[in-house]
Structure 1
Amino acid sequence: MAEKTDYELKAANLLKAELKRKGVTYAGLVEKLAAIGVVDAEANIRNKLSRGKFTAAFLLQCLSAIEVDNLRL
């Protein structure tokens, strides 16, 4: 299996940190994504975050769903 690049690791950690900060579980994220019209299974989301392989669109959808307005990089 290929190792995560620095940016994949950074993106995954950023999203995980925002989920933690907002107190949102993966199951909660599934519900919040569904509310904005994005259907995905909890297992798929868990795998995406674990692998660090997801699109910028998915990152923005997740941040929007959990109502993150500002990010500090």
Structure 2
Amino acid sequence: MRQPESPQRKVTGPLKLRPEVAYTPWEDRANELLVAEMEKRRLTYKALARLLESYGIEETPDRINRKVNRKRFSAAFMLACLAAMGVDAVDVPSQLGAPKSYK
């Protein structure tokens, strides 16, 4: 016997996304910001690794590269990198949408 089709549910409130999906645009923005700040200063991963050493953070250039390319790094890592590069302030997007250019 055939099951009756269930009616489609109408979304009436905020859209509920799985955390790994909901964070994706924010991870993209964090990555864009970090890469843009490195490009502004013409820094390589090797140079960033050297700058992080002054904060007692030992990261190899390859590990930094993998973290940045994976777009999965902690806020602490990002703040340490920004501080090491001498970044004083950043624009924080207030909502999702098309990625802002940080150049």
TM-score after normalising by structure 2: 0.65
Distance 1:22 1:72 in 2: 17
Alignment of 1:49-60 (within 5 A): 49-60=68-79
Distance 2:34 2:70 in 1: 13
Aligned to 2:63: 44
Which of these residues, 5, 13, 16, is aligned with residue 35 of structure 2? 16
Structure 2: gaps of 5 or more residues: 1-19, 93-103
Code of the residue aligned with 1:29 in structure 2: it is L
Compute the RMSD of aligned alpha carbons: 1.6
The structure having more radius of gyration, on CA atoms, is 2
Distance 2:28 2:74 in 1: 13
Higher helix share: 1
Q: Deviations over 1:47-73 (max 9, x none)?
A: 000010000000000000000001123
Q: How many residues align?
A: 72
Q: Which has the higher contact order (CA 8 A, sep 6+)?
A: 1
1:61 counterpart = 2:76: no
SS of the residue corresponding to residue 36 of structure 2 reads helix
Q: Equivalent pairs: percent with the same residue?
A: 35
Distance 2:26 2:40 in 1: 21
